[in-house]
Amino acid sequence: MRILKRIFRFYYEGFKTMPRWGKQMWLIMIVKGVLLFVLVKFIFFPNHLKTNFETDEQRSEHVINELIKAAQNDTITTEH
């Protein structure tokens, strides 16, 4: 517990006594983080396979079909 308190105080005092430029850097990181993780990730970058398919089996099936479809027009007769 004492160690946790010391760690907390270390970070707390670090942030508290941080110079102005350090705070500016944190502001840049926070704004960028919000912009990237909230706006960009959730609005523009849904995970295509996770969003559109429920199970890994469905995802596998979809990708295999995509891979086959991509090449199908040029493929030659199946060997037996």
Regarding 64 and contact with other proteins (CB under 8 A), the answer is yes
24: enclosing H helix or E strand: helix 20-33
Amino acid letter at 1? M
Amino acid letter at 69? K
- Smallest gap, in angstroms, from Cβ of residue 62 to other proteins? 8
Regarding 55 and contact with other proteins (CB under 8 A), the answer is no
Query: Which residue of 8, 28, 38, 58 would you call a contact of other proteins, by CB under 8 A?
Result: 28
Alpha carbon dihedral 39, 44, 46, 49, in 10-degree steps, equals -170
Regarding 73 and contact with other proteins (CB under 8 A), the answer is yes
Regarding 49 and contact with other proteins (CB under 8 A), the answer is yes
